[in-house]
Amino acid sequence: MCGIFACHHHPDVEGFKPQALKLSKEIRHRGPDWSGNVICNDTILCHERLSIVGIDSGAQPLTNEDDSLILAVNGEIYNHRILRKKYLSETKFKTASDCEVILHLYPEHDINTPKLLDGMFSFVLYDKKKDRTIAARDPIGITTFYVGWNSQQPKSVYFASELKCLHPVCDKIESFPPGHIYDSATGKFTRYFEPTWWDGSKVPTGPVDYKAIRKTLEKSVRKRLMAEVPYGVLLSGGLDSSLVASIAARETLRLKKFAVEAPGASLKEANGTQSHLEIPHTLVGIDDEDELSTVTALPELHSFSIGLPDAPDHKAAREVAKFLGTVHHDFTFTIQEGIDALHDVIYHLETYDVTTIRASTPMYLLSRKIKALGVKMVLSGEGSDEIYGGYLYFKNAPSKEEFHAETVKRIKNLHLADCLRANKSTSAWGVEARVPFLDKEFLEVSMAIDPKEKLITSERIEKYILRKAFDTTDEPDVEPYLPSNILWRQKEQFSDGVGYGWIDALKDTAAAKVTDEQLAKPKQAWIDQGDVPDSKEAYWYRCMFDEIFPQQCAPTVMRWTPTWSKQTDPSGRAIDIHHAKYESAV
């Protein structure tokens, strides 16, 4: 992930530059490889770069041939080669960056430019000739992005990848809406992402197409292997990360058939093992338009997991890694290490949501280990539970109509929950997380299915049709994607899967730090905001958040709670069908 900070129409942009660079530095963890900035008229764009594609030539902000357009981007455009071929075959590019296509699409496609992009992105583009800024965010909000205003500067608009850049200069901050584009010429946000499933009240009636589910997810993973740096997969041992890892392992093997040795690279095994991360080589493959594409990969696919020593997911992750033949890195953390990291986690996450903090802490610790091993990009399994109703509380859905409406709601709010967690937990250490389940095509296929096929019943486990799509029992010529016991394993939410003792310890620690009297008398600011903590754990996190961030940041936070349940605790163990449920569960 990269980092963006920008201001359109600052009243004293030259005088503001030193502060702008200081604010941009606040997110250098997102982009430790290089920094850049451009001032044009009264607008400034700053960029902190994490180089994944076009590593030798893609420093930002990017400019067009006559420097009349200036662009700062955070993200990856997976279809950039296709866009170059289809729309920009006569265009002279300055770099090999996948993001440069945005610059050259804009003159013809204007605010429709994001519609052409297949990827995860946030960008700010300044048009010098029109004195105009446009900014956009990817359809689901995989990349974090915020917009802010200063009441003393009515013409100024600020943009940033994280809140910590904005609150020193903005007294009003909002999460930039996913799937939208902002135009300074009108001051309006326009939704460019218009999928068929957007209106959750319109219930789809399509049949299940297992082949389409499998094909589009495989295609999605293949796209996301676009990189020129070592990459890996996050492997919890649950269904979603295991499927992503399985497809990535198959794709790595397929690409090796076309492998060519990179100039100066050594493919010799070090000390008799292929687990070393310092011997990448270039793989040549074919993209979706029959064009050559290259990725720099490790001799073997590396997978990463973390948990307490007795974590439910540990054993499953090791089993999956052995089955797939990945080089597996199995890390543990102690409860005390997790608790000690909480303040830093909240600083990076910029949230006080209980379930996000619970799940992000192990991911934050794991990302540090991954970065230390030299890996800069990982695939992750976020999004599947929202699409297929995988959370165990979905069993209580009163009808297929409400089931579907809840999936749509959860997808729309991913940018405030799991996408935020995946993006900020990894980018805290300069690692980029990519999420294949949130591919536009895969979403379109999955959300067109009649929700009755997704319902959890006594005969059908959660995410049944996704599991069935990758069950090759009746396909003797197809190698299994996963062991059967993994493919059909019950859902563990990540904060549970890393070890049940983790959440229990957080609750116990919060109980020792927050008194009954404090919980009964929340701060007036919380009451005014209409977001009062409902547990000692939530109270504890909110206090830490308020120590770091001023009140204008709080409205950007959404607290995650299950629907159709009397339980407010987001743990999967609070749902009655979980095999290790809390005694207090409904």
Tokens of 325: 């033949």
Among 2, 46, 419, 553, the active-site one is 2
The residue type found at 562 is P
On whether 187 is known to bind a ligand per the annotation, the reply is: no
Q: Was 501 annotated as part of a binding site?
A: no
Both structure tokens of 288: 């979706």
494 within 8 A of 384, measured Cβ to Cβ: no
Q: Give the integer Cα–Cα distance in Å for 349 and 571.
A: 19
How far apart (Å, rounded) are the C-alpha atoms in residues 506 and 464? Answer: 32
Contact 350, 553 (CB under 8 A): yes
To 10 degrees, the CA torsion angle through 163, 176, 380, 83?
A: -130
Round to whole Å and give the CA distance between 329 and 200. Answer: 40
Angle between helices 335-349 and 418-427 (to 10 degrees): 100
Give 174's strand partners. 147
Question: Distances from the Cα of 223 to the Cαs of 76, 101, 192, 202, 345, in angstroms?
Answer: 10, 17, 22, 30, 30
Nearest alpha-carbon partner for 73 in 45, 93, 54, 95: 45
Q: Is 47:38 a contact under the CB 8 Å cutoff? A: no
Instruction: Give the single-character DSSP code of 394.
Output: G
Does 503 count as an annotated binding residue?
Answer: no
Number of helical (H) and strand (E) elements in the chain, helices listed first: 20, 19
Distance CA 49, CA 72 (A): 10
Query: Which residues have C-beta within 8 Å of that of residue 326, sequence separation ≥ 6?
Result: 233, 235, 245, 249, 300, 301, 302, 303
Q: Tell me the C-alpha to C-alpha distance, in Å, between residue 584 and each of 488, 497, 571.
A: 27, 19, 12
Residue type, 92: K
Question: Residue 584 and residue 568: Cα distance in Å, rounded?
Answer: 11
The answer to the question of whether 125 is labelled as a binding residue is: no
DSSP for 106-168, written as a single string: HHHHGGGGGGG--EEEEEEEEETTTTEEEEEE-SS--S--EEEE-TT-TT-EEEESSHHHHTT
* Cβ neighbours of 151 (radius 10 Å): 8
2 is catalytic: yes
Question: What residues have CB less than 8 Å from 108, skipping those under 6 apart?
Answer: 87
Pairing mode, strands 302-307 and 327-332: parallel
- CB-side exposure of 332: number of CA atoms within 13 Å? 11
What is the DSSP code (8-state) at residue 191? Answer: E
- Binding residues for L-glutamine are 98
Question: Which residues sit in the known binding site for ATP?
Answer: 234, 306, 380-381
Residues recognised as catalytic = 2
Annotated binding-site ranges:
98, 234, 306, 380-381
